[in-house]
Structure formats: structure tokens, C-alpha cells
Structure 1
């Protein structure tokens, strides 16, 4: 149930600041499927998309099996332990239950007043969460009922609220660079307060989780597994740089209908922190968030004669943002605000990371010439 919006004081709004957006160009296209493992009445059902290569991270709840745990830690105690000590109290386990299904994920306290960010697929149980009861377990063992403040299915985010004074994590002021330390905290397989570390492997990627969900992400080799969804990805200072959302799955696809997360293979993805902060702020203030719309049909640019990778524009919507800015059919978009675009998913994710009405600089190739146009984005319906 939602409180009247006019009475909400948004403690996250004061934290919003301009971020450095420069990111190195990514060269590998990743195809992502939304595959979630849930415990449902009558047995386990794995939902997926045909041809999928990655899995979202909501843990299957099992009544008769517990994961075995081995001490194989090789963490660098000096840095990782400090990050865990600084941020672990801001990460929670999120349990969602209906008459038909149940599951667990993770969440991060992002603002005073008990506001918690998680993934939409955690609270929706991948589409089976109508009328769900949501419970939050804190790092110190408190069990709290949670209210769903709002969801943003377009970028797989949701905001919860609990009646407790929990410590909020600090957002990083700038985006991480490739090679920076990355620390993941969450509840893989229901194991609360699990800490793993690695590096930022790539930035500026766009991944498609379903036909309706495309998000801008960073890639990490910090081990993350089913149940880490909605958990924190932190930098070496203990600041939030992303919300863990998906992992690559190397298991062969069998039409996608029975595919699930096989576990970490060192390729995980986290939604970019600046998008998380903006969406959480708008949901806390208004109950929903807006997203930019280019107003064009695009595909991956694969013709070597063009000389560059990018997103090829085919059609523009009449009076839409692209048409109003002078973009044309055949243009190959290569960057947005300086962040490289290697294909249609990259472009869609990058445009959605902005609020409706924002102006962005679009770099493109047209007839062998590089141009830069300013586009005022429309609003995604």
C-alpha cells in the first residue's frame, strides 16, 4: 500500500549529484535471457526465454536440501574486509511469498527511513508475485514486514520500505573503471551476508533481460549466484556502484523453457549505480520513474562497409525525439553522451538510463562523416 505522495520526505534526493559518465568502449555483445528459479506449489518451475545465455538471480527455496559450504576464501582481507565491515549492515535478505510461489533475493538500504532497493523480478517472483507478502531480514537478524513503495519493470528495479532505522549505503560519486575492485554482498542460495570480491571487468554494456527489459550494466567477476539479485556491488571504499541483477550461464539452452542459473562462471552484471539512484529517488518521491525515449527503430550495425559498430537507425516516429533532432534512416549511432554504443541493446539501455525530457549528445556516422546531434528525449510509455 502506498502512502500519499505529498507527505513523503525523500532522504535520497539530497544525495543526487552529477556523475562522470565516461566509459571505455565495450567490444563483446552479450545476449541475456531472464531465467528465474522459484519454489512453486507442485514443484519447481524455471521460466525463461529461448536462446538465453544468462540468469537473473533469485534463489530457489528448497525444503529438503541445503547448499554445502566449503571454506575456499582467498579474499584480500585488508581491503575486502574493510568494505564488508562498512557496508554489510546496509544489505538485507528479501523473502517473497504467495500461495503459489516463494523466493529469496537481496536488497540494499539506500536512504534513511527504511527505504530499500531490490530487483523488480525479486518482488514480482518473475510474474507470480500478485498479493505477495514481503519480509526483510537484516544483517543483525531482525525480521521486518516490508511495504512495496513502487516498481520500475523497465529497468528491473523496485523500492521497499520498512519501519526501522537501518543504516543507508553511500552511492559512489563517480562510475567505476575497468580493473577497479568490486565487492558483492547479498544472499546467494539464501545464505545471508555473503561477501565475495573481484574486479570491474567491463563498463557501459547494455543487456536485454526480456523483450521489455533492457538495462545498462557493468560486468564483474566477483562471484554472484542465484539469490544475489538486488544485492550490492561496491567499490573499494564501500560505496554502491551497482545492484546485482544477472549472471552469464554457460549451460546449453534447450529451447529456454527449462533453463536456470547454474552458478557463477565469473561473468556477472550489475545495474549502474547512477540509474539506481535516480530511479529510487523518483519512486520515493512520485511512486514511479520516467525513462527517455528516442522514438526510432534500430538494429545492430554489422555491415563492415560502415567501418564502425553501433546501432543502425531504420525508422523514426513522426514528431518523436529522433525525428525532431534531425536523425535519419541509415544513421549509425556510435555513442550517447560520450559512452560507446556497440549495438541496439546498448543504445536502448543508454537512452532508458536518462529521465524523460533530458537532453543527450548523440554521436553518429552518416555517409562516412561523423556528426553529433543534441536530442531532447521523449518519455517511454
Structure 2
């Protein structure tokens, strides 16, 4: 069976970067028939015609030319099918090339229908071999993002004795630092001594060791052995996201490496509580209310062991509060630690959890369109601290809080301070028992989970503006947080 050529492979017969058919003939070589980005013969201008290397956006502007320009049929609405077909091929190449390679003049060689008919070197695509394009007329933004980002996403297989599971990760550096979830590399806190095998997008296998884990954020960094030349993920600024933005997930759901799904950013400034066996026993400053909301389950290690028996996660002895991006892009067990990307192929989040309609993690059916990712800005800080120090720090407010709406006397939505610790950050900022926190560092606070999650985003010693309501009056103070004990 013949498989289609990989996106980004040099076109058959395409000249090298900067070369033209005319130049090759002048040098005494037999000129190849010029071909477009998909290996099909194309017409070219006569020898000596000017050849220009346009940036992607300039080449695209060339498609909309006025009727009657040289080399185009005249008359209103007239079209040349051959030219239209070559333009579509170039659009497909640009859709991928604009995200992947920039303008290098090598690899993709296509016809810019600008009215001159000259060959235009567009872009050098470095896309992965498993991004398959069968229909060049329908290449879209998702294909382009997959081509750019897939080389930076890996599949992680973790084993300890008879237990094991599969997750995902994103490459941080060319020499093999990889970011993933703590629950991936600890089998949800069950073990600390594991063997890790990582499969890259190009099929190469690596052994890996744990650099550091941070159970409070459920993030971890591993290092691939003897790795070089890997493609690091590009980070986006997650603080600039909008609800409705494109969200594309890449990972290994159910062990299926390189799976691509898409959706939108469904909600921002969301916070969830996740049951954890890896988290420390230090109190999370949050007093559970009576709302009946259960913590979301970790969902990676419900994949069977090698012998076919179900993988048993340990009983959670604690919980963590996470700030998350909510998305309807389909993510499932095995996507843990994988990438959530924007329309430019940049990382906006690390996939961490999904909601289910009820039941335990072992019986959950998978994605119901409510998934959660750790924002890239938070993930970047944690990964940098783990690489530098093997551990990460988190802020501590020094107060116990409950959800204000659980207090019958409250008329304000927010986090109700039920106790202030002596000598803590809250006391130093002048906060008192009975204050209701409504905003923290620009993020609206609707309950105790929101406040705890946002405090944890800060490193030890970080500062934030905190808005609270006392006796019906609102005030804002600056808070310098303490350090959460590990």
C-alpha cells in the first residue's frame, strides 16, 4: 500500500533553494519540469522571467488579481481552471508552511497565481511524517497546527512492577526536557520508582528519568536520555486567551499516539478541585462546603496493564485546587500531560482532567466535551523551577476560607475568610475573619476553590492585588504571599 508523502517533504523535481529552471539550464544541467508542492507539473514563465521569494502573506495577496492582468483570461468573472488548481495547491502549502517553517525558500515550491506565472519559493515545512494530507483542496488550520506542533508532543509509557499506564508530554528543549503531569509519572501517586519510556513523533524511543514533580500543580518534568535535535514547543501567553478561541489538543488518548482533536476555549478563570494521592498532606486552606460538588477524578491510568488486568489507582488522601482552561476539544484518558494549542500551534495549556457525568474514574466513558488544561503561563513557571531546582514553590495566604454562598447571611459571591493565621500573609495585609474576597490579581473569585487555586499560581513571596468586601464596603490591598509547605 502506497502512503501519501509526508507534508513538508521536498516536492519531487523541485529545484533547490534559490535555484530556477533558467539558472540550471545556464549551468549546463538538464532542467527538471517544475512541480508544485505536491509533485504535480506546473507551467512556468519563459526563461529569464523574474523569480521572487515572497513571504507567505505576500504570496496569498497575489491570488486576488484584477481581471485582464497579463497571463489571465479577460472579461468579468472569467477563471482559468488550471491556474485555480495550482492556487489551491499553494494555499494548502501555505496553510501548513506559514505555521511550520517561515520563509526559507526550500522544500515547498509552488506557483503563486499573481498574474506573472513565475515559480515562487514559499516555505520549508518541517512537519511530521504522520500528518497525512490526502486531499490538498481541504487543508485547514487544524492540519497546519498538527504539522507544526506534533513533533513537540510525545507519548509516555510508565511501568512499575505489574502496574503501568500511558500519558502524554510536551518537549521543552532540544536536549530532551519534557513537561507532563505528576500523576503520569507517579501512576497517580502510587509509586516513586518507575521506568519510563518515551516515544517521539518520529518513532524514536527514549528512556527517561524524573527531574522533578510538583503535586500541587500536578506538573512534572522528565529528561530523555541521550536526546538531541528535538523540537521544543512554542509557548503562548495564556493571559491573552479569549473564550471562543480555537483550541486543538494533541496527545495519546487510550494510547493512540498523535491523536488530534479540536474545539474552542469554553471558559476561562475556571478552578477545579482534583482528588490526589500525590499531593502533600498540608491543608489546602479550603474548608469543604455543602454544595455536593465532588472533586474531579484523575483520568489517565484507567488503561489496562500489560497483562490485561485493570490498573488500580490508590485511594486519594488529599486534593489540590487547580486554575484551568476549560475546552470542548475531545480529551480522554491518555491525553494527560499533552498539549492544548491555539490556532498558531502554540501551547496554551497542559491537559490534566475531564469532567464525567457520574461514577468512578474506572467507569467514566471519556470525553463529554468538558475538559480542563493547566494554563501555559503557570505551566511554564513550574517547569522552569523544576528544571532549575527539582522543586517548585507556591503561595500561601495564611487563611482558611469557605464559599461565601454557603453562609446564609452572605449577600456577596466570593471566598469567605473563616480564620486568619497569626503572622501570615492575610494578617499582614489587614484581612479579617468575615471578609469576602471577590478578586485576586485581576481574576474574579466566586468561591473558596477559586481563591486557593489563584494563590497557588503565585510563587512563594509573590505579590497580588486582593479585593474584599467588609460590612458592605469594597477595598483592595496588596498581599505578599508566604510559602506553602511541601
TM over 0.5: yes
Equivalent pair of 1:306/1:368 in contact (CA under 8 Å): no
Measured in 2, the distance between the counterparts of 1:243 and 1:290 equals: 19
Q: What are the within-5 Å matches in structure 2 for residues 208-287 of structure 1?
A: 208-210=273-275, 211-251=318-358, 253=359, 256=360, 259-287=362-390
Deviation at 1:305, TM superposition (A): 5.3
Q: Secondary structure at the match of 1:348?
A: helix
Which of 368, 375, 395 pairs up with 1:292?
Answer: 395
Q: Distance in 1 between matches of 2:387 and 2:145?
A: 27
Matched position secondary structure for 2:427: helix
Query: Residues 295-325 of structure 1, C-alpha deviation per residue, up to 9 Å, x if partnerless?
Result: 1000111147543311000101100000111
Q: Say which of 227, 237, 240 aligns to 1:164.
A: 227
Q: Relative contact order: is structure 1 or structure 2 higher (C-alpha 8 Å, sep ≥ 6)? A: 1
Contact (CA 8 Å) 1:246, 1:270: kept in 2 or not? Answer: yes
Equivalent pair of 2:266/2:327 in contact (CA under 8 Å): yes
Structure 1 counterpart of 2:254: 189
How far, CA to CA, are the matches of 2:159 and 2:176 in structure 1?
21
Q: Deviations over 1:142-200 (max 9, x none)?
A: 11001100000111000011131210011103431100000000000000000000000
Answer yes or no: is the 8 Å Cα contact 1:301–1:309 preserved in 2: yes
Q: Distance in 2 between matches of 1:356 and 1:77?
A: 46
RMSD: 1.4
Match of 1:18 in 2: none
Could you tell me which of 261, 265, 273 is aligned with 1:200?
265
Equivalence for 2:438: 334
TM-superposed deviation, 1:232: 0.2
- CA distance in structure 2 between the partners assigned to 1:130 and 1:291 by the alignment: 22
Aligned to 2:44: none
Per the alignment, in what secondary structure is the counterpart of residue 364 of structure 1? strand
Gaps of 5+ in 2: 1-137, 276-317
1:133 to 189, 195, 203: 195
- Of the three residues 354, 357, 366, the one matched with 2:470 is 366
Taking the aligned partners of 2:420 and 2:462, their CA distance within structure 1 comes to: 19
Distance in 1 (CA, whole Å) between partners of 2:247 and 2:213 is 26
Match of 1:319 among 402, 417, 423: 423
Give the distance between the partners of 2:480 and 2:175, measured in 1 at CA.
35
- Structure 1 Cα separation of the partners of residues 343 and 410 of structure 2: 40
| Distance in 2 between residues matched to 1:130 and 1:260, nearest whole Å | 26
Counterparts of residues 57-72 of structure 1 (less than 5 Å): none
Question: What's the CA shift string for 1:209-259, capped at 9, x where partnerless?
Answer: 1233211101000000000000000011111010000011113x3xx5x74
Contact 2:255 2:334 in 1 (8 A): yes
SS of the equivalent of 2:357 reads coil
User: Structure 1 CA distance, aligned partners of 2:338 and 2:368?
Assistant: 18
The structure whose residues are more often strand, as a share, is 1
Alpha carbons 2:426, 2:479 under 8 Å: kept: yes
SS at match of 1:83: helix
Q: CA deviation at 1:111?
A: 2.6
Tell me how far apart the structure 1 counterparts of residues 392 and 428 of structure 2 sit (CA, whole Å).
Answer: 24
**Quick one: distance in 1 between partners of 2:334 and 2:464?**
35
| Bigger Cα displacement from structure 2, 301-310 vs 87-96 | 301-310
SS where residue 274 of structure 1 aligns? helix
Aligned 8 A contact 2:237 2:376 in 1: no
User: Could you tell me whether the CA contact under 8 Å between 2:349 and 2:379 is conserved in 1?
Assistant: yes
Deviates more, 1:273-282 or 1:104-113: 104-113
Structure 2 equivalent of residue 120 of structure 1: 182
Count the aligned residue pairs: 302
Unaligned stretches of 5+ residues in structure 1 = 1-75
Whether the 8 Å contact between 1:100 and 1:128 is mirrored in structure 2 is: no
Matched, 1:143 2:205: yes
Change (3 A) 1:126 1:174: closer
In structure 2, the residue matched to 1:173 is 237
Q: TM-score, normalised by structure 1?
A: 0.77
8 Å CA contact 2:238–2:375 kept in 1: the answer is: no
In structure 2, relative to structure 1, the CA distance for the partners of 1:234 and 1:293 (3 Å cut) is: same
Q: Which stretches of structure 1, 4 residues or more, deviate above 2 A after TM superposition?
A: 127-130, 258-261, 303-308
Aligned to 1:91: 153
Cα contact 1:101–1:128 (8 A) shared by 2 = no
